[in-house]
Chains A and B, each alone.
Chain A
Amino acid sequence: MRSIVPAAAALAAVLALALAAGATAQSPDQKVVLTVGLTQDLDSPNVTVGELVSSFELWNLQYPTLTDLAADDLSTAPGLAESWSSDDSGRVWTYTLREGLEWSDGTPITAEEVAYTINRSREEEWLNHYSTVQNLTAEATDERTLVVTSSVDDPKLPGLSVYIVPKHVYEEIEASEIGKYAALDGVSAGPFSLKEWKKGQFWRMEANDSYWRGRVAIDEVVFRVFRNADAMVAALRSGELDAAHNVPAAAFPSLETAEGIEAVEGEQGGFDYLVLNSYAGQPPRDETKFDAPHPVLLDLRVRQAIAHAIDKETLVERVLSGLGTPGTTISPSPSPAWMPELSEEETYEFDLEQANQILDDAGYTDTNGNGVREHEGKDIVLRYAIRTESEYSKPYAEFITGWLKDIGIDTTFSSYDDGQLIEVAGKGAFDAYVWGWTPFVDPDPMLSYMKCDQISVDASDFSNFWNDTGLCDPEYDALYAEQNTELDPDRREEIVHEMLTRWYTNAAYVVLATSPDLQAYRTDRFSGWVRQPAEIGPVLFSNSSPSYWSLEPLASSGDGDGGLSTAAIAAIAIAGAGALALVGWVVLRRRSVEERE
């Protein structure tokens, strides 16, 4: 026995040492590191494949754009191009690039490089480029001069903010292989370049010395992915993080009042929606590879009944803790002017009785009295997908499926992370789920996503789509083409209003709420946080993320933080208590042995 006690004591001592040392060994390195917490991992660093907000932030930091978006009002501002002019037709624009532009590996950025991205992305219909470049042809007339010609009148020009990729890297990759490219090359012309990505844990980016605005004041930015939003908030409070994106609404009020932390409710037109899979055979898919929606969802009356069964006020209040506003149509831009006013008869008011009436009239009745309506003799059961990467997804599901039950529609659940849900949506293997969009400045990209040609039909790449409803409305497409070439802003706005009203009536999307980006940052580490757009927008994960190149470290703050030394003290205290307990135990044991003898 006596041989075990010292062993245990030694073990405790070693542990304590490890703890204490671990706590103090956080060597105060000299690098200025910005650490950002978020709950969504990258889906892919490959700009032709990724579609998540997290990936867009990566590209905002790594890839330059020909024109930039002004930090305050998102208007067109100089980027790689320092100036531009157009001919009389307004269809031919000539851009002059800055002098001495370079990629982080030293390769010069010429007009030829920019033309390469524009032309190739148009030819290959790259996911995140195509809606902007579909009508454009680019040509480099010399090292610094780029001529862009549009085949139609294009209201978006001269703004041209697609991500420019390094030609010398991408020309090695065949069109057929580009979707599989891992894109970890780290060749950057933005403020940072990607150095490391540990899936599910973090990705790390280092400052790019040849950034055209000049090297930024931060040496490194680390994005840490949290599976538990509470842990993320705790990490922000303790100083492990400098900023956090997607702060849970439950924790937001406490951060608003916390000292040394600034909480930001960032509006940039983002919204949450319920999608109903409405794919009715157009455009044609290879049926052996794709899945089909529940047939009742192809009946407009059923979708309308569902739209009537959703109480958006309650969702905002209960799910979003009041941080948001009930939704109507999709919001295609941070500017609310693009959204139409819906008349009363156009609006699907929350009314369960009316919803039930619509379904009764449509002939979906519950004949066997089990509370679920039937279609062709079988209970109507919808496949509802839950997103594991959003803490709102389950509460939304709880309410929505509760109301669906009230109108006699049953549901089954499956859970997916965002990367997987894209594939599931692309295959059409769902009936309903809730997700969100964050629009760009010009309404065009958001509007283009709902076109017929954005429906997933490519069986070799199920993530190659935007229109997750599967609903094809040719008249909507016609209106899209019209606004796409309408140079009169008022007329264009009118067309957009008509499109959005049409899309609302189709009820394949039930917009639940506008949802602000809830963020928070520590005020003791960096100064120069920029909200985009000014005053109302978020500080990170915005359209062009200007904060990163504006931030300056505060002189007084070292990189280490107070929690560490406390941890060392705690470790020593715990170990000490353990040792004391052991000693006490030995003493007591001795005494009891003596008593016995």
Chain B
Amino acid sequence: MTALAWGRRKRALAQTWAEYRRDREGMTGLLVLGGFVAVALLAPLLADDAQLSAVNTTGNEVWAPPGEHPPLGTDSLGRPIYDQLVYGSQVSLLVGIAATLIAIVIGTVVGVSAGFFGGWVDAVLNRLSEWFLVIPFIPLAIVLAAILGPSLRNIIFVIGVTSWPVTARLIRAQVLTIKQRLYVERSRALGASSLHVMGRHVLPNVAPLVIANATLTVPVAILSETVLSFLGLSDPLRVSWGSMLEDAFSAGALGREAWWWYLPPGLCVIAVVLAFTLVGRALEAILDPRLRAGRAG
């Protein structure tokens, strides 16, 4: 059984990849994303984190355009934009992925439980996810930052805790479909425990959908991080694209036409968000049976 199942899954995976490769937009997104992930991981090799602190950059010209301080110029305190941009990618990706993981875990637990157990469990969990859906998360993040103090951890927590209901609903619907099928299969008839059924059959089957959905949660998380940092709610000691924009805004980069300071972080946010969205849509198109049917038709 196990070997057979694994073989089947491996084949399915290979087939999915083959299909994905044909999706031009999806491949573009994946490529861009790979680039940013590489930059974030290799940041210590690509940039110098000592240059992020103004006390170490007193030798640099301030407000230097890219031509004078390659590759991207410096800010009002002489810190190179390039180093900030490279290290900023770490925060954006970290927040995006960590928050999404939280959302996936909560969403999966809630969705699977609701779908699998049904009855009052389903009703209660449904109500719960409906409640969390109406919490406006930017104000929630602001409130939490005001109470707990600004930190990266809070931002991740808030985005994670408010993004799970969508995942939960999707998964619940999938579990319900799979459950129908499972009833006629033998494992249930042989008296396998609920946990066993869930682990063996339900989770692997909903996993692709969870992944596709998660890929679409990441960009929302990244955009939120940018807004919250801009409002001064992120960790003041860590440079992120949002905090770069906040610095540029308050230091007068707009009036001074220091485009090399405020354009790159914004463009990076757009690129990463767009890349995640493209990948997510491509995955969804392949993995979501509803959309597949549409494609065939």
Contact = CB atoms under 8 A, between A and B. Distances in A.
B61 to A, nearest CB: 11
A391 B252 contact: yes
A403 B76 CA distance: 18
Interface stretch (B26-34, B41-49, B52-60, B82-90): B52-60
Nearest to A403: B55
A413 B236 contact: yes
A184 interface: no
B54 A318 contact: yes
Most chain B CB neighbours (cut-off 10 Å) among A234, A394, A406: A394
A102 to B, nearest CB: 45
Contacts of B236: 413
B92 to A, nearest CB: 21
Contacts of A436: none
B23 interface: no
Task: Say whether chain A's binding surface is mostly helix, strand, loop, or mixed.
Answer: helix
B232 A402 contact: no
A399 B76 CA distance: 12
Contact of B255 (A251, A399, A403): A251
Nearest to A253: B256
Contacts of A228: 249-250
A250 B255 contact: yes
A318 B77 contact: yes
Nearest to A237: B255
Contacts of A45: none
Nearest to A394: B250
A398 interface: yes
B256 A394 contact: no
Contact of A394 (B55, B56, B150, B247): B247
B241 to A, nearest CB: 17
A248 B255 contact: yes
Interface residues of A, number: 26
Interface string A523-564: 000000000000000000000000000000000000000000
B49 to A, nearest CB: 13
Nearest to B247: A394
B71 to A, nearest CB: 22
A290 to B, nearest CB: 21
A234 B255 contact: yes
Interface residues of B, number: 22
A248 B252 CA distance: 8
A314 B76 CA distance: 13
Most chain A CB neighbours (cut-off 10 Å) among B63, B252, B256: B252
Nearest to A388: B232
A179 B137 CA distance: 39
B243 to A, nearest CB: 10
A229 interface: yes
Contacts of A321: 62
Given A250-B63, A318-B62, A394-B247, A399 B55 contact: yes
A251 B252 contact: yes
A406 B55 contact: yes
B55 A250 contact: no
A233 interface: yes
Contact of A230 (B53, B76, B149, B252): B252
A310 to B, nearest CB: 11
A398 B252 contact: no
B38 interface: no
- Cβ-closest 8 pairs across A and B: A402-B55, A230-B255, A250-B252, A398-B54, A248-B252, A413-B236, A230-B254, A230-B252
Interface of B: 53-56, 58, 62-63, 76-78, 149-150, 232, 236, 247, 249-252, 254-256
Interface of A: 228-230, 233-234, 248, 250-251, 254, 314, 318-319, 321, 391, 394-395, 398-399, 402-403, 405-406, 412-415
